[in-house]
Amino acid sequence: MEYYLINVMCNICLMFVIRQFLGDFFQFDTEKKLKRIILSCCWLLGTFGVNEWLHIPLLNLTANILMMLLVSCVYEGNILKKLLVCIMIAVLGAACDMLAYAVTTPFLKENEYYYSFTFTVVFLLIIERVMGVTIRREKTWNIVGKEMLALSGFPLMSVIILYCVTAMDSGIYKLVACICVVGMSLLSVNLYNGLAVNLSDSLRKEQLEREVEAYKHEMDLMRISKRKEENLRHDLRHHLFEIEGLAKQGKNQKVCDYIEDLRRTFVDSKGAIHTGEYETDSLINYLIDSAKNNQIAVECDIKIPEDIDVSHCKLNVIVGNLLENAIDAAGKSETKKVILTMHFSGGILFLQLKNTYVGNIRIENGYVQGKRNSSGHGIGLRSVQDLVKEQNGALDIKIEDDYFVVEGMIPLA
């Protein structure tokens, strides 16, 4: 009875650790909580039954991997990544089993070996917590090159370990098993270090490419503006003659219209946004121009004093990501409209971004729940909310008059 009680309790804890592992690599769809509970129960019953009735290590490992893969169905990601992660978890579990057995053998009687199960759970949880710090959630990662080779080593070593476990009476098999465990540990460290570096480089490259495009767009606007101003300066005498003629005829309204046309000639070619930070202006102007090229109406109301320093609050990242998200969502809707408002008052920057959208959006506790859907909202907003909180600000998300609305305030003092 004691054996079954400890076994069941440890399996429940292992299920928790496995879900933590999957959460480190993949985004969980909160709309599938009930399904995850059902699949978790299936894993508990399936693995317990196989382990108790069939004492074949390779078959037990295979069943464990398949049941974990079934649980991973409620997480986002492609099947290959899920399979590789499940294999990794299973192999790490086997290594923790061996380590727990080696640690507890000197202290336990032969018929009390099942107490080592608790050590297995603890060791696996420690590994998960270390990896959880390394792997960034809500991000995709690409398995290429040596990372794929490292992952391929896990199932191979698991087969060797399982074979060695069945022949533990021989010293050479124990030595080979220990070498494989050490090798898996080294491979896992190398693998996740490589994944972290690749992820960081990929994100940095993506950000730089977007900034380069924004700067290029800003330079194009400046060249167009300069050319129009040169043309206006060259033709200024002719324009003055025209204005003078209209004025002498008493056509005041036509004079005003003519001047307005001249003003619009070069004003429209300049950037529509001025936040006081060149990087932010370039990025937002680039996104707005891109939206207009896709027939998305963009309205802006920016009122920020020129002497206000906004560089320290990462405004280009916050507004840039929000605007990009809004444009993407509005582009899928029928109305296609985005409204950006930014005001500064009392040492606080207030911003509001409204966009049309299509589909259903569920908001709970200020967060968009569920996986990213056809509305274009979801996961990306969470990183922006975290960044705003780092600036001691606040971000609110709501649905208002058929608009998806993001309102925030960031202290600049």
pLDDT in tens, 313-328: 577 778 888 888 899 8
Structure tokens that stand for 71 in this block: 């649980």
State whether residue 168 is helix, strand or coil. Answer: coil
Domain shared by 187 and 291, yes or no: no
DSSP run (H or E) holding 303: strand 297-303
Any domain includes 338 = yes
Residue 353 has pLDDT above 90, yes or no: yes
DSSP run (H or E) holding 348: strand 348-355
Domain shared by 56 and 202, yes or no: yes
As a whole number of angstroms, the distance between CA 28 and CA 139 comes to: 12
Domain shared by 67 and 159, yes or no: yes
Any domain includes 228 = no
Domain shared by 183 and 296, yes or no: no
Any domain includes 247 = no
pLDDT of residue 371: 45
Query: Which range of residues forms the domain containing residue 47?
Result: 2-206
Any domain includes 236 = no
Place of tokens 């907003």: 381
Tens digit of pLDDT for each residue in 183-226?
665 566 566 666 666 766 776 777 677 777 767 766 766 676 66
Place of tokens 């496995």: 18
Last-in-domain residue among 152, 171, 206:
206
Structure tokens that stand for 102 in this block: 């080696």
Q: Are 355 and 345 in contact (CB under 8 A)?
A: no
Any domain includes 299 = yes
The enclosing domain of 285 has a CATH number of 3.30.565.10
Any domain includes 315 = yes
| Per-residue b or e along 209-218, where b marks 16 or more CB atoms closer than 10 Å to that residue's CB | eebeebeebb
Any domain includes 149 = yes
Domain shared by 15 and 153, yes or no: yes
Q: Cβ-count burial of 105 within 10 angstroms (0-12 exposed, 13-18 middle, 19+ buried)?
A: exposed
Segment 223-235 mean pLDDT: 65
The vertex-40 CA angle with 34 and 41, nearest 5°, equals: 95
Place of tokens 């991997």: 65
State whether residue 15 is helix, strand or coil. Answer: helix
Any domain includes 217 = no
Q: Are 218 and 291 in contact (CB under 8 A)?
A: no
Domain count along the chain: 2
Structure tokens that stand for 203 in this block: 């994100």
Last-in-domain residue among 206, 240, 260:
206
Question: Which segment of 24-33, 218-227, 282-291, 382-391 scores lowest on mean pLDDT?
Answer: 218-227
DSSP run (H or E) holding 345: strand 337-345
Structure tokens that stand for 369 in this block: 């729940």
**Higher per-residue confidence, 241 vs 272:** 241
Last-in-domain residue among 181, 206, 231:
206
**193: closest CA among 248, 149, 142, 135?**
135
As a whole number of angstroms, the distance between CA 323 and CA 280 comes to: 11
Question: Which segment of 83-92, 123-132, 197-206 scores lowest on mean pLDDT?
Answer: 197-206
Q: What is the mean pLDDT of the chain?
A: 74
Segment 362-368 mean pLDDT: 70
